[in-house]
Each structure stands twice: as C-alpha cells, then as structure tokens.
Copies of this chain bind each other. A is one copy, B any other.
Amino acid sequence: MNGKIIKAKDAFLHITDLALLRGFGIFDFCRTQNGRPLLLDRYLTRFFNSAKYVDLGIPFSKEYIKDTIYSLLQNNSFEESGIRMVMTGGYTENGYTPGEPNFFILIEKINFPGKPLYDNGIKLFFLEHQRELSHIKSINYLTAISIRNAISKAEAYDVLYHYNGNVLEVSRSNIFIVRDRNIITPIKNILPGITRSTVINLARDLFTVEEREIPVQELFQADEVFMTGTTKRVLPVIKIDDHQIGTGRPGPVTKKLIALYRDFENSSTVVPSTGDQA
C-alpha cells in the first residue's frame, strides 16, 4: 500500500479518501493459474489506461508493480490468488478535489464458480443499463450491487445489461452469443475484457467471430450464450429472465471454448524448463 508491504489486516485508509467520499477510483483484477500470474502485462496495460482516462497518475512504474506482485504472491500461500490493484483519488481536502492517489495491491483467496455451473449453465437477470465510462475499469458498481436482492430473488447468477435495444455486458463479465456456429460479441459500450479477447483469438481458429452490436431480439434467438471473465473463464448461460436459450443446456461451441480456454491457461503458465533439467 503506497509503496509499503503490510499485512492485509492492517491496511486502512482515512475516511477522506475520495473513493469513500465520492466513489472515485479505478482498479483491475487478475489472477494466478498454477500459481503464476496469467496475462499480467495485459491487465497492467488496462489499469494504466483506466488511470489515464480519469486523469490520475499512477505513482509507480509497471515494472515496480510487477515485482511487487511477485513478492506479494511469495508472501501468501493461496492455492490460486486473485490480484487486486486499486487506485483512488486519494485524500481530498475539500471533499471533492483529488489529492495524491492512494494505491494498493491486495492478494486474495479466489473463488471460482463450481463445476455444476459449467455443466448446467447459469441464469442471468436482464436490466436496462449502461455502465458509466464503460470502456474503463472504474470502481463504480452502484447499479449492480443495488439490485443484488432482486437478482437473488430471481435465482439469477448475475445481471446482464442492455441499453438502447442492444445487449452490452454482464456486471463483471463479457457476453457472447452463438448462431449457426458463428460467434458474436458486442464491441461498443463495454469493458474490453482480457478473457474476452483471449477467447476471441482462440475461437478464430475454429469459428467465425464477429464483434458488433447485438440487438436484444438476436440474443433471444441465439443457439448458445456464454459469458467470459477473469474468474468465470467461459461460463455457459442457459436462461435470461424467463427466456430459455437454445435447448436449455450448454451447447457444443461453448463446450469447445471451455476446453480451449482451459488448455490455453495451462499452456500459458507452464514453468519453462531450465538448463539444469535439460
């Protein structure tokens, strides 16, 4: 936190922090696979882009942040770790104007969706909303968290946003549809997910992938729907409100991508062999 390694339980910020008073901050969240950070450089690039967009200077270099993450991972012993980088507007003197940013990296125990969710697919709650500054990763989740009880009551796993007649994204995941083995995913007014772009690249070897607007009607006519995210990987969606998608079971294209993504994760994090082992 702000350049010092401390125990998570001792990490506090004063109440004049601008995230507390005005919800003003950005973050990013990546994770380990086989104990090693997955695609860390890409998450760092996005984090720096978010900071630039809200006019906050990150007081540390990418190299310093990477080195710090590696040493934090060594000091923790989770099987797999979530790596959360947060930067706020800092301590404000007048309750509104940013000060020097507060910056911290938190290593967390990570919770993945359970196997039954991959086997059976999940239901999404459908809501008209577009995230504010949707192309950057701000800390603003006001709408999604406000409706948490309505989501639970509907027995949905998460919320899918649509706006102006187009499908956008899940609260913390991207959305894809499959029609006649073509894969389609929104490109505008969404967060550019790292898992999203990885899955697009993997899919292109076997399928056609289109990045374009998806009208709500096309979503409901899809053969398959799935979502992607750092902790979600590729997760099948079989219901949106009361609309069943396709057969109501995870489809063949989704299953193929789940497998391709698992292979990618493991191949990306293999420890290279050293001279000693050769």
Contacts and interface: CB of A to CB of B under 8 A. Distances in A.
B139 A132 contact: no
Contacts of A13: 12-13, 15, 20
Interface in A115-168: 132-133, 138-143, 145-146, 148-149
B143 A133 contact: yes
Contact of A86 (B15, B55, B145): B15
A89 B19 CA distance: 13
A106 interface: yes
A145 B15 contact: no
A139 B1 contact: no
Given A1-B15, A14-B12, A20-B139, A96 B145 contact: yes
Interface in A70-113: 82, 84, 86, 88-89, 94-98, 104, 106, 108, 111
Number of copies: 2
A24 B89 CA distance: 15
A140 B143 CA distance: 10
Label chain A's interface by main secondary structure: mixed
Contact of A145 (B1, B9, B20, B22): B22
A18 B145 contact: yes
9 contacts: A8-B15, A13-B13, A15-B86, A22-B140, A23-B141, A23-B142, A55-B149, A89-B145, A98-B145
Interface of A: 1, 8-9, 11-25, 27, 29, 53-55, 82, 84, 86, 88-89, 94-98, 104, 106, 108, 111, 132-133, 138-143, 145-146, 148-149, 172
